[in-house]
Structure 1
Amino acid sequence: MGSDSPRPGHYLSRSLRDEGEALFVPGHFQFRDEAQMLSLVAAYPLAQLFTAEQGRHRVTASPMVALPQRDARGALQFIGHMAGRNPQVSAIQAGARATAVFSGPGAYVSPQWFRVTHTAPTWNYRAVQAHGQLEAITDPEGVREVLRRTIDHVELGAHPDPGATRWTLDDLPRERADFLLDKVTAFRLVITHLEGVNRLNQDKHLDDILGIMAALSESPQPQGAAVAGAMAAELAGALPLPVSA
Protein backbone atom coordinates (compact mmCIF):
# COMPACT_ATOMS: atom_id res chain seq x y z
CA MET A 1 0.00 0.00 0.00
CA GLY A 2 1.15 3.55 -0.71
CA SER A 3 1.52 6.26 1.90
CA ASP A 4 -2.02 7.54 1.19
CA SER A 5 -3.62 4.10 1.55
CA PRO A 6 -5.56 2.98 4.64
CA ARG A 7 -3.21 1.51 7.23
CA PRO A 8 -3.80 -1.23 9.82
CA GLY A 9 -5.28 0.22 12.97
CA HIS A 10 -7.02 3.05 11.10
CA TYR A 11 -10.74 3.38 10.56
CA LEU A 12 -11.68 3.57 6.91
CA SER A 13 -14.45 5.98 7.86
CA ARG A 14 -16.41 6.70 11.00
CA SER A 15 -18.93 9.38 11.88
CA LEU A 16 -21.84 9.90 14.25
CA ARG A 17 -23.57 12.09 11.65
CA ASP A 18 -26.77 10.59 10.23
CA GLU A 19 -27.81 11.17 6.63
CA GLY A 20 -30.78 10.42 4.41
CA GLU A 21 -34.24 11.90 3.95
CA ALA A 22 -36.49 8.82 4.03
CA LEU A 23 -33.70 6.41 4.92
CA PHE A 24 -31.66 6.13 8.09
CA VAL A 25 -28.00 5.87 7.17
CA PRO A 26 -24.97 6.86 9.29
CA GLY A 27 -22.63 9.13 7.35
CA HIS A 28 -19.90 6.50 7.05
CA PHE A 29 -22.32 4.11 5.29
CA GLN A 30 -23.30 6.57 2.58
CA PHE A 31 -22.50 6.04 -1.07
CA ARG A 32 -19.79 8.46 -2.18
CA ASP A 33 -21.80 9.80 -5.12
CA GLU A 34 -24.82 9.36 -7.36
CA ALA A 35 -22.81 7.42 -9.93
CA GLN A 36 -22.16 4.68 -7.35
CA MET A 37 -25.87 4.36 -6.64
CA LEU A 38 -26.78 4.24 -10.34
CA SER A 39 -24.14 1.56 -10.84
CA LEU A 40 -25.82 -0.61 -8.19
CA VAL A 41 -29.24 0.01 -9.78
CA ALA A 42 -27.85 -1.08 -13.15
CA ALA A 43 -26.30 -4.24 -11.68
CA TYR A 44 -29.38 -5.18 -9.61
CA PRO A 45 -32.34 -3.90 -11.65
CA LEU A 46 -35.12 -5.88 -9.97
CA ALA A 47 -36.78 -3.28 -7.72
CA GLN A 48 -39.50 -3.58 -5.12
CA LEU A 49 -41.92 -0.76 -5.99
CA PHE A 50 -43.85 0.57 -2.97
CA THR A 51 -46.97 2.75 -3.14
CA ALA A 52 -49.67 3.78 -0.68
CA GLU A 53 -53.24 4.57 -1.72
CA GLN A 54 -56.08 5.36 0.65
CA GLY A 55 -54.21 3.82 3.56
CA ARG A 56 -53.34 0.62 1.68
CA HIS A 57 -49.75 -0.29 0.84
CA ARG A 58 -48.86 -2.29 -2.25
CA VAL A 59 -45.52 -3.69 -3.36
CA THR A 60 -44.57 -5.18 -6.73
CA ALA A 61 -41.27 -6.56 -7.99
CA SER A 62 -40.45 -4.89 -11.28
CA PRO A 63 -37.22 -4.72 -13.28
CA MET A 64 -36.42 -1.03 -13.67
CA VAL A 65 -33.71 0.78 -15.60
CA ALA A 66 -32.57 4.39 -15.65
CA LEU A 67 -33.12 6.39 -18.81
CA PRO A 68 -29.95 7.98 -20.20
CA GLN A 69 -31.64 11.39 -20.36
CA ARG A 70 -33.09 13.43 -17.50
CA ASP A 71 -36.41 15.24 -17.73
CA ALA A 72 -36.81 18.96 -18.47
CA ARG A 73 -36.23 19.78 -14.80
CA GLY A 74 -33.06 17.70 -14.64
CA ALA A 75 -34.62 14.80 -12.71
CA LEU A 76 -33.49 11.22 -13.12
CA GLN A 77 -36.05 8.94 -14.77
CA PHE A 78 -36.49 5.19 -14.27
CA ILE A 79 -38.81 3.04 -16.36
CA GLY A 80 -40.53 -0.23 -15.54
CA HIS A 81 -43.63 -2.32 -16.10
CA MET A 82 -46.02 -4.69 -14.38
CA ALA A 83 -49.01 -6.85 -15.27
CA GLY A 84 -51.96 -4.74 -16.34
CA ARG A 85 -54.28 -6.61 -13.98
CA ASN A 86 -52.09 -5.82 -10.95
CA PRO A 87 -54.14 -3.70 -8.49
CA GLN A 88 -51.11 -1.42 -8.06
CA VAL A 89 -51.74 -0.13 -11.59
CA SER A 90 -54.29 2.26 -10.11
CA ALA A 91 -51.45 4.03 -8.27
CA ILE A 92 -49.56 4.41 -11.54
CA GLN A 93 -52.60 5.80 -13.30
CA ALA A 94 -53.18 8.23 -10.42
CA GLY A 95 -49.59 9.52 -10.60
CA ALA A 96 -48.90 8.45 -7.03
CA ARG A 97 -45.68 8.97 -5.15
CA ALA A 98 -43.62 5.79 -4.95
CA THR A 99 -40.39 4.31 -3.68
CA ALA A 100 -38.35 1.76 -5.61
CA VAL A 101 -35.90 -0.26 -3.52
CA PHE A 102 -32.95 -1.90 -5.28
CA SER A 103 -31.16 -4.49 -3.15
CA GLY A 104 -27.55 -5.31 -3.92
CA PRO A 105 -25.49 -8.10 -2.37
CA GLY A 106 -25.74 -8.81 1.35
CA ALA A 107 -24.14 -11.24 3.79
CA TYR A 108 -23.92 -12.02 7.50
CA VAL A 109 -20.67 -11.05 9.22
CA SER A 110 -19.58 -13.34 12.06
CA PRO A 111 -17.66 -11.94 15.07
CA GLN A 112 -15.18 -14.77 14.53
CA TRP A 113 -13.88 -12.99 11.42
CA PHE A 114 -12.69 -9.88 13.26
CA ARG A 115 -8.95 -9.94 13.83
CA VAL A 116 -8.73 -7.25 16.51
CA THR A 117 -12.12 -6.05 17.75
CA HIS A 118 -14.35 -8.04 20.08
CA THR A 119 -17.84 -7.23 18.84
CA ALA A 120 -21.30 -8.59 17.97
CA PRO A 121 -22.53 -9.98 14.66
CA THR A 122 -23.48 -7.59 11.89
CA TRP A 123 -24.69 -7.62 8.30
CA ASN A 124 -23.02 -6.09 5.25
CA TYR A 125 -25.24 -4.99 2.42
CA ARG A 126 -25.82 -2.41 -0.29
CA ALA A 127 -29.20 -0.96 -1.26
CA VAL A 128 -30.60 2.08 -3.04
CA GLN A 129 -33.96 3.79 -2.60
CA ALA A 130 -35.39 5.86 -5.46
CA HIS A 131 -38.21 8.16 -4.36
CA GLY A 132 -40.37 9.89 -6.93
CA GLN A 133 -43.60 10.37 -8.85
CA LEU A 134 -45.16 7.73 -11.07
CA GLU A 135 -46.29 8.49 -14.62
CA ALA A 136 -48.19 5.99 -16.76
CA ILE A 137 -46.88 5.32 -20.27
CA THR A 138 -49.91 4.48 -22.38
CA ASP A 139 -49.05 4.81 -26.07
CA PRO A 140 -48.21 1.43 -27.67
CA GLU A 141 -44.83 2.53 -28.98
CA GLY A 142 -43.93 3.97 -25.60
CA VAL A 143 -44.79 0.66 -23.92
CA ARG A 144 -42.76 -1.20 -26.53
CA GLU A 145 -39.79 1.08 -25.88
CA VAL A 146 -39.94 0.40 -22.13
CA LEU A 147 -39.90 -3.36 -22.76
CA ARG A 148 -37.16 -3.03 -25.37
CA ARG A 149 -34.89 -1.01 -23.08
CA THR A 150 -35.52 -3.33 -20.14
CA ILE A 151 -34.85 -6.49 -22.15
CA ASP A 152 -31.70 -5.03 -23.72
CA HIS A 153 -30.38 -4.10 -20.27
CA VAL A 154 -30.96 -7.46 -18.60
CA GLU A 155 -29.80 -9.42 -21.65
CA LEU A 156 -26.52 -7.50 -21.50
CA GLY A 157 -26.18 -8.52 -17.87
CA ALA A 158 -26.92 -12.16 -18.70
CA HIS A 159 -24.61 -12.22 -21.78
CA PRO A 160 -21.83 -9.65 -21.15
CA ASP A 161 -19.30 -11.00 -23.66
CA PRO A 162 -18.94 -8.59 -26.62
CA GLY A 163 -19.56 -11.35 -29.16
CA ALA A 164 -22.57 -12.85 -27.37
CA THR A 165 -25.90 -13.25 -29.12
CA ARG A 166 -28.59 -11.53 -27.07
CA TRP A 167 -32.34 -11.97 -27.30
CA THR A 168 -34.29 -8.87 -28.31
CA LEU A 169 -37.96 -7.99 -28.41
CA ASP A 170 -37.75 -8.12 -32.20
CA ASP A 171 -37.08 -11.88 -31.95
CA LEU A 172 -40.68 -12.33 -30.85
CA PRO A 173 -43.27 -12.48 -33.67
CA ARG A 174 -44.95 -9.08 -33.92
CA GLU A 175 -48.44 -10.49 -33.31
CA ARG A 176 -47.31 -12.26 -30.14
CA ALA A 177 -45.40 -9.21 -28.95
CA ASP A 178 -48.44 -6.96 -29.48
CA PHE A 179 -50.61 -9.42 -27.55
CA LEU A 180 -48.24 -9.49 -24.58
CA LEU A 181 -47.58 -5.75 -24.58
CA ASP A 182 -51.31 -5.16 -24.37
CA LYS A 183 -51.30 -7.05 -21.05
CA VAL A 184 -48.75 -4.86 -19.26
CA THR A 185 -48.73 -1.37 -17.81
CA ALA A 186 -45.55 0.59 -18.39
CA PHE A 187 -44.52 3.51 -16.24
CA ARG A 188 -41.92 6.15 -15.58
CA LEU A 189 -40.71 7.01 -12.07
CA VAL A 190 -39.46 10.61 -12.02
CA ILE A 191 -36.96 10.75 -9.16
CA THR A 192 -37.17 13.42 -6.49
CA HIS A 193 -34.30 12.00 -4.49
CA LEU A 194 -31.99 9.01 -4.57
CA GLU A 195 -30.32 7.63 -1.46
CA GLY A 196 -28.75 4.42 -0.36
CA VAL A 197 -26.86 2.35 2.19
CA ASN A 198 -23.36 1.14 1.41
CA ARG A 199 -22.74 -0.82 4.61
CA LEU A 200 -19.36 -2.51 4.15
CA ASN A 201 -17.70 -2.23 7.58
CA GLN A 202 -16.20 1.19 6.82
CA ASP A 203 -16.44 1.92 10.55
CA LYS A 204 -14.07 -0.93 11.42
CA HIS A 205 -10.29 -1.09 11.66
CA LEU A 206 -8.54 -2.07 8.47
CA ASP A 207 -7.19 -5.32 9.91
CA ASP A 208 -10.78 -6.29 10.84
CA ILE A 209 -11.98 -5.35 7.35
CA LEU A 210 -9.33 -7.55 5.77
CA GLY A 211 -10.31 -10.47 8.00
CA ILE A 212 -13.99 -10.09 7.06
CA MET A 213 -13.16 -9.86 3.36
CA ALA A 214 -11.06 -13.02 3.52
CA ALA A 215 -13.80 -14.94 5.31
CA LEU A 216 -16.60 -13.73 3.04
CA SER A 217 -14.64 -14.66 -0.07
CA GLU A 218 -14.70 -18.28 1.18
CA SER A 219 -18.15 -18.17 2.75
CA PRO A 220 -20.90 -20.52 1.49
CA GLN A 221 -23.38 -17.64 1.75
CA PRO A 222 -24.86 -17.06 -1.72
CA GLN A 223 -23.69 -13.44 -1.92
CA GLY A 224 -20.63 -13.64 0.31
CA ALA A 225 -18.09 -13.35 -2.51
CA ALA A 226 -20.00 -10.43 -4.04
CA VAL A 227 -19.93 -8.57 -0.72
CA ALA A 228 -16.20 -9.26 -0.37
CA GLY A 229 -15.70 -7.83 -3.86
CA ALA A 230 -17.70 -4.73 -2.97
CA MET A 231 -15.60 -4.28 0.17
CA ALA A 232 -12.42 -4.56 -1.87
CA ALA A 233 -13.66 -1.92 -4.34
CA GLU A 234 -14.64 0.40 -1.49
CA LEU A 235 -11.24 -0.06 0.12
CA ALA A 236 -9.43 0.69 -3.14
CA GLY A 237 -11.23 4.01 -3.51
CA ALA A 238 -10.96 5.18 0.09
CA LEU A 239 -8.48 7.08 2.23
CA PRO A 240 -8.23 6.74 6.00
CA LEU A 241 -10.54 9.31 7.56
CA PRO A 242 -10.38 10.57 11.13
CA VAL A 243 -12.90 9.45 13.69
CA SER A 244 -15.29 12.39 13.85
CA ALA A 245 -18.60 13.51 15.25
Structure 2
Amino acid sequence: MDKELLRVVIILIGMLVMIGMLLWHFFKSLRERREADDYFDDSEYDIGDEEFQVDEDEDELDLFPTESVVDGDGLLDEEEIKPTPKEPPKAAAAPKPSPNKTALPGLIEFSIVARADEGFNGEDLFEAFERVGLIYGSVKVFERIDKNRLVDFAVASMIDPGTFPDTHLDEFYCPGIVFYMQPREVDNPLAVFDDFMETIDTLAIELDGVVWDNQRQPLTAETIAQFRQMLAAR
Protein backbone atom coordinates (compact mmCIF):
# COMPACT_ATOMS: atom_id res chain seq x y z
CA MET A 1 0.00 0.00 0.00
CA ASP A 2 1.22 3.49 -0.77
CA LYS A 3 2.66 5.35 2.25
CA GLU A 4 0.49 8.43 1.70
CA LEU A 5 -2.68 6.32 1.59
CA LEU A 6 -1.62 4.49 4.77
CA ARG A 7 -1.09 7.75 6.55
CA VAL A 8 -4.58 8.99 5.58
CA VAL A 9 -6.21 5.76 6.77
CA ILE A 10 -4.45 5.99 10.16
CA ILE A 11 -5.62 9.58 10.59
CA LEU A 12 -9.24 8.68 9.73
CA ILE A 13 -9.20 5.77 12.17
CA GLY A 14 -7.88 8.07 14.91
CA MET A 15 -10.61 10.61 14.27
CA LEU A 16 -13.32 7.95 14.39
CA VAL A 17 -11.96 6.68 17.72
CA MET A 18 -12.02 10.21 19.19
CA ILE A 19 -15.56 10.83 17.93
CA GLY A 20 -16.66 7.56 19.46
CA MET A 21 -15.16 8.41 22.82
CA LEU A 22 -16.82 11.83 22.86
CA LEU A 23 -20.21 10.31 22.04
CA TRP A 24 -19.75 7.71 24.79
CA HIS A 25 -18.97 10.37 27.41
CA PHE A 26 -21.92 12.51 26.27
CA PHE A 27 -24.48 9.69 26.55
CA LYS A 28 -23.02 8.59 29.91
CA SER A 29 -23.32 12.08 31.45
CA LEU A 30 -26.84 12.45 30.03
CA ARG A 31 -27.90 9.17 31.66
CA GLU A 32 -26.43 10.21 35.07
CA ARG A 33 -28.23 13.53 34.93
CA ARG A 34 -31.56 11.84 34.29
CA GLU A 35 -31.02 9.48 37.22
CA ALA A 36 -30.27 12.41 39.52
CA ASP A 37 -33.43 14.24 38.39
CA ASP A 38 -35.49 11.13 39.07
CA TYR A 39 -33.96 10.86 42.58
CA PHE A 40 -34.81 14.45 43.50
CA ASP A 41 -38.33 14.49 42.19
CA ASP A 42 -40.12 17.60 43.47
CA SER A 43 -43.43 15.76 43.56
CA GLU A 44 -42.18 13.67 46.51
CA TYR A 45 -41.28 16.80 48.51
CA ASP A 46 -44.36 18.94 48.23
CA ILE A 47 -43.69 22.13 50.22
CA GLY A 48 -46.48 24.61 50.56
CA ASP A 49 -45.77 28.09 49.29
CA GLU A 50 -47.48 29.76 52.22
CA GLU A 51 -44.80 28.75 54.76
CA PHE A 52 -42.06 30.51 52.86
CA GLN A 53 -43.84 33.66 51.84
CA VAL A 54 -41.92 36.72 52.87
CA ASP A 55 -43.72 39.80 54.05
CA GLU A 56 -42.21 42.70 52.18
CA ASP A 57 -42.84 44.96 55.18
CA GLU A 58 -40.66 42.81 57.46
CA ASP A 59 -36.91 42.91 57.72
CA GLU A 60 -35.16 41.09 54.89
CA LEU A 61 -33.51 38.68 57.32
CA ASP A 62 -36.74 37.75 59.13
CA LEU A 63 -37.68 34.82 56.88
CA PHE A 64 -39.00 32.44 59.53
CA PRO A 65 -41.28 32.99 62.54
CA THR A 66 -39.39 33.64 65.77
CA GLU A 67 -42.30 33.70 68.21
CA SER A 68 -41.51 30.20 69.50
CA VAL A 69 -38.38 28.17 70.18
CA VAL A 70 -38.44 24.64 68.72
CA ASP A 71 -37.08 21.83 70.87
CA GLY A 72 -35.17 19.20 68.87
CA ASP A 73 -36.46 16.36 71.10
CA GLY A 74 -40.02 17.48 70.38
CA LEU A 75 -39.44 17.05 66.67
CA LEU A 76 -38.22 13.48 67.17
CA ASP A 77 -41.28 12.59 69.28
CA GLU A 78 -43.65 14.31 66.82
CA GLU A 79 -45.26 16.20 69.69
CA GLU A 80 -47.01 19.50 69.28
CA ILE A 81 -44.64 22.45 69.45
CA LYS A 82 -45.64 25.07 71.97
CA PRO A 83 -44.14 28.52 72.29
CA THR A 84 -41.61 28.78 75.07
CA PRO A 85 -42.66 31.57 77.45
CA LYS A 86 -40.23 34.41 77.46
CA GLU A 87 -38.74 35.40 80.79
CA PRO A 88 -38.97 39.09 81.63
CA PRO A 89 -35.60 40.78 81.24
CA LYS A 90 -33.72 41.14 84.47
CA ALA A 91 -33.10 44.67 85.54
CA ALA A 92 -29.43 45.54 85.46
CA ALA A 93 -27.99 46.26 88.86
CA ALA A 94 -27.54 49.97 89.30
CA PRO A 95 -23.87 50.89 89.72
CA LYS A 96 -22.93 52.23 93.08
CA PRO A 97 -22.42 55.96 92.93
CA SER A 98 -18.80 56.92 93.27
CA PRO A 99 -17.69 60.06 95.07
CA ASN A 100 -18.23 62.94 92.69
CA LYS A 101 -15.12 65.02 93.08
CA THR A 102 -16.16 67.26 90.19
CA ALA A 103 -18.68 68.85 92.57
CA LEU A 104 -15.81 70.13 94.70
CA PRO A 105 -14.22 73.50 94.05
CA GLY A 106 -11.15 73.24 91.87
CA LEU A 107 -9.15 75.64 94.04
CA ILE A 108 -9.42 77.23 97.47
CA GLU A 109 -7.30 80.35 97.86
CA PHE A 110 -6.89 82.31 101.10
CA SER A 111 -4.25 84.92 102.02
CA ILE A 112 -2.50 86.48 104.98
CA VAL A 113 -1.72 90.19 104.52
CA ALA A 114 0.87 91.90 106.73
CA ARG A 115 -0.32 94.64 109.05
CA ALA A 116 3.10 96.31 108.95
CA ASP A 117 3.79 98.61 106.03
CA GLU A 118 7.08 96.86 105.14
CA GLY A 119 5.36 93.49 104.87
CA PHE A 120 6.74 90.13 106.00
CA ASN A 121 10.47 89.61 106.24
CA GLY A 122 12.02 86.53 104.63
CA GLU A 123 13.75 85.29 107.78
CA ASP A 124 10.55 85.60 109.82
CA LEU A 125 8.62 83.70 107.15
CA PHE A 126 11.08 80.81 106.98
CA GLU A 127 11.16 80.41 110.75
CA ALA A 128 7.36 80.50 111.04
CA PHE A 129 6.90 78.04 108.15
CA GLU A 130 9.30 75.57 109.75
CA ARG A 131 7.46 75.75 113.07
CA VAL A 132 4.16 74.72 111.46
CA GLY A 133 5.81 71.92 109.48
CA LEU A 134 5.82 73.45 105.97
CA ILE A 135 8.66 72.34 103.66
CA TYR A 136 10.53 74.47 101.14
CA GLY A 137 9.89 72.73 97.81
CA SER A 138 11.73 72.41 94.52
CA VAL A 139 9.57 75.13 92.91
CA LYS A 140 10.62 77.56 95.66
CA VAL A 141 7.31 77.65 97.52
CA PHE A 142 6.42 76.06 100.85
CA GLU A 143 4.30 72.92 100.89
CA ARG A 144 2.42 70.66 103.27
CA ILE A 145 3.55 67.10 102.46
CA ASP A 146 1.44 64.12 103.58
CA LYS A 147 2.66 60.67 104.63
CA ASN A 148 2.66 59.53 100.99
CA ARG A 149 4.97 62.42 100.01
CA LEU A 150 2.13 64.16 98.16
CA VAL A 151 1.30 67.87 98.39
CA ASP A 152 -1.84 68.77 100.37
CA PHE A 153 -1.51 72.54 99.95
CA ALA A 154 1.10 75.18 99.17
CA VAL A 155 2.09 78.69 100.28
CA ALA A 156 3.42 81.29 97.81
CA SER A 157 4.52 84.90 97.99
CA MET A 158 2.26 87.72 96.82
CA ILE A 159 5.17 89.11 94.83
CA ASP A 160 5.32 87.86 91.26
CA PRO A 161 6.24 85.10 90.37
CA GLY A 162 5.18 83.91 93.83
CA THR A 163 8.43 82.20 94.88
CA PHE A 164 10.58 82.67 97.97
CA PRO A 165 14.36 83.15 97.69
CA ASP A 166 16.68 80.68 99.36
CA THR A 167 19.43 83.24 100.00
CA HIS A 168 19.62 86.78 101.46
CA LEU A 169 16.43 86.21 103.39
CA ASP A 170 16.99 89.26 105.53
CA GLU A 171 16.67 91.45 102.42
CA PHE A 172 13.43 89.88 101.22
CA TYR A 173 10.05 91.45 102.02
CA CYS A 174 6.56 90.72 100.68
CA PRO A 175 3.18 92.28 101.51
CA GLY A 176 1.54 88.92 102.09
CA ILE A 177 1.44 85.21 101.44
CA VAL A 178 -1.13 83.15 99.53
CA PHE A 179 -2.34 79.64 100.46
CA TYR A 180 -3.55 77.26 97.73
CA MET A 181 -5.48 74.01 98.13
CA GLN A 182 -6.92 71.76 95.39
CA PRO A 183 -9.71 69.65 96.97
CA ARG A 184 -10.08 67.41 93.91
CA GLU A 185 -6.45 66.29 94.14
CA VAL A 186 -6.42 65.05 97.74
CA ASP A 187 -7.86 61.88 99.29
CA ASN A 188 -9.61 63.50 102.25
CA PRO A 189 -10.51 67.10 101.32
CA LEU A 190 -12.23 67.93 104.61
CA ALA A 191 -9.30 66.78 106.78
CA VAL A 192 -6.83 68.64 104.58
CA PHE A 193 -9.00 71.77 104.71
CA ASP A 194 -9.03 71.67 108.52
CA ASP A 195 -5.22 71.46 108.53
CA PHE A 196 -5.17 74.22 105.91
CA MET A 197 -7.20 76.56 108.15
CA GLU A 198 -5.30 75.67 111.33
CA THR A 199 -2.00 76.48 109.60
CA ILE A 200 -3.36 79.81 108.33
CA ASP A 201 -4.70 80.82 111.74
CA THR A 202 -1.41 79.94 113.47
CA LEU A 203 0.71 81.87 110.96
CA ALA A 204 -1.63 84.86 111.02
CA ILE A 205 -1.02 85.15 114.77
CA GLU A 206 2.74 84.57 114.61
CA LEU A 207 3.33 86.93 111.68
CA ASP A 208 0.74 89.52 112.75
CA GLY A 209 -1.35 89.41 109.60
CA VAL A 210 -4.99 89.61 108.46
CA VAL A 211 -6.61 86.59 106.78
CA TRP A 212 -8.38 87.29 103.47
CA ASP A 213 -10.73 85.09 101.46
CA ASN A 214 -10.52 84.62 97.70
CA GLN A 215 -12.41 87.91 97.19
CA ARG A 216 -9.70 89.80 99.11
CA GLN A 217 -12.11 90.41 101.96
CA PRO A 218 -11.56 89.48 105.61
CA LEU A 219 -12.25 85.77 106.02
CA THR A 220 -15.32 85.08 108.16
CA ALA A 221 -16.43 82.05 110.13
CA GLU A 222 -19.48 81.83 107.86
CA THR A 223 -17.29 81.44 104.75
CA ILE A 224 -15.21 78.76 106.45
CA ALA A 225 -18.39 76.87 107.45
CA GLN A 226 -19.65 77.01 103.86
CA PHE A 227 -16.43 75.46 102.54
CA ARG A 228 -16.47 72.75 105.22
CA GLN A 229 -20.08 71.86 104.38
CA MET A 230 -19.23 71.68 100.70
CA LEU A 231 -16.25 69.39 101.28
CA ALA A 232 -18.09 67.16 103.75
CA ALA A 233 -20.97 66.56 101.30
CA ARG A 234 -18.85 65.12 98.49
Looking at secondary structure, tell me which structure has more strand per residue: 1
- Structure 2 length as normaliser, TM-score? 0.22
| Highest RCO, 1 vs 2 (Cα 8 Å, sep ≥ 6) | 1
Looking at secondary structure, tell me which structure has more helix per residue: 2
